[in-house]
Structure 1
Amino acid sequence: MSVLELTNTSRWYGNVVAVNDVSMQIGPGVTGLLGPNGAGKTTLIAMMAGFLAPSAGEVQLDGQPVWNNVSVYRAIGLVPEREASFGYLTGRQFVRANAELHKLSAPGEATERALGIVDLVEPAGRLISTYSKGMRQRVKLAAALVHDPGVLLLDEPFNGVDPRQRMHLMDLLTRMGAEGRTVLFSSHILEEVEQIARHIEVVVSGRHAASGDFGAIRRLMSDRPNVYLIRSSADRRLATVLMGAESVAGVQLDPRGGVVVQVTDFGEFARALPRQAKEHGITLREVTPTDESLESVFAYLVSA
Structure 2
Amino acid sequence: MTDLVLSNVSRWYGNVVAVNDVNMHITSGITGLLGPNGAGKSTLLSMMAGLLPPSTGSVTIGGAPARENVAIYRQVGLVPVQESLYDFLTGEQFVRLNADLQRVPQPATATKYAIGLVDMASAADRKISTYSKGMKQRIKVASALVHGPHVLLLDEPFNGMDPIQRRHMMGLLTGFAERGHTIVFSSHILEEVEQIARQVEVLVAGRHAASGDFAEIRRLMTDRPNQYLIRSSDDRALATLLLGHPSVRGARLRGHHGLEVEADDLGQFAQIVPRLAREHGVRIFELTPTDESLESVFSYLVNT
Q: Do both proteins adopt the same fold according to a TM-score greater than 0.5, normalized to the shorter chain? A: yes
The residue that corresponds to 2:103 in the other structure is 103
Q: 1:255 to 1:150 in 2, by over 3 A?
A: same
The residue that corresponds to 1:66 in the other structure is 66
Alignment RMSD, CA only?
A: 2.7
Matched to 1:132, the amino acid is S
* Displacement of 1:90: 1.3
Matched to 2:42, the amino acid is T
SS of corresponding position for 1:169: helix
The residue that corresponds to 1:265 in the other structure is 265
SS of corresponding position for 1:89: coil
* Displacement of 1:175: 2.1
Q: 1:246 to 1:96 in 2, by over 3 A?
A: same
* Displacement of 1:78: 0.3
Contact 1:49 1:76 in 2 (8 A): yes
Q: 1:272 to 1:171 in 2, by over 3 A?
A: farther
Contact 1:235 1:258 in 2 (8 A): no
Q: 1:95 to 1:252 in 2, by over 3 A?
A: same
* Displacement of 1:282: 9.4
CA distance in 1, matches of 2:162, 2:288: 26
Q: 1:287 to 1:78 in 2, by over 3 A?
A: farther
The residue that corresponds to 1:190 in the other structure is 190
The residue that corresponds to 2:150 in the other structure is 150
The residue that corresponds to 1:12 in the other structure is 12
Q: 1:249 to 1:57 in 2, by over 3 A?
A: closer
* Displacement of 1:296: 2.4
Query: So what's the TM-score if we normalise by structure 2?
Result: 0.87
SS of corresponding position for 1:5: strand
Matched to 2:228, the amino acid is Y
Bigger CA drift: 274-283 or 135-144? Answer: 274-283
Query: So what's the TM-score if we normalise by structure 1?
Result: 0.87
* Displacement of 1:37: 1.9
Matched to 1:92, the amino acid is E
* Displacement of 1:235: 7.2
Contact 1:235 1:253 in 2 (8 A): no
Q: 1:143 to 1:56 in 2, by over 3 A?
A: same
Q: 1:272 to 1:126 in 2, by over 3 A?
A: farther
SS of corresponding position for 2:124: helix
What does residue range 1-304 of structure 1 map to in structure 2 within 5 Å? 1-230=1-230, 236=235, 247-252=247-252, 254-255=254-255, 257=257, 259-269=259-269, 288-304=288-304
Contact 2:137 2:160 in 1 (8 A): no
CA distance in 1, matches of 2:89, 2:276: 61
Contact 1:235 1:259 in 2 (8 A): no
Note the alpha carbon deviations across 1:13-45, whole angstroms, 9 max, x for none.
222222222221111000011222222111110
Q: 1:285 to 1:132 in 2, by over 3 A?
A: farther
* Displacement of 1:278: 9.3
Bigger CA drift: 57-66 or 246-255? Answer: 246-255
SS of corresponding position for 1:149: coil
Bigger CA drift: 172-181 or 61-70? Answer: 172-181
Identity of aligned residues (%): 62
Note the alpha carbon deviations across 1:29-69, whole angstroms, 9 max, x for none.
00011222222111110011111112222111111111111
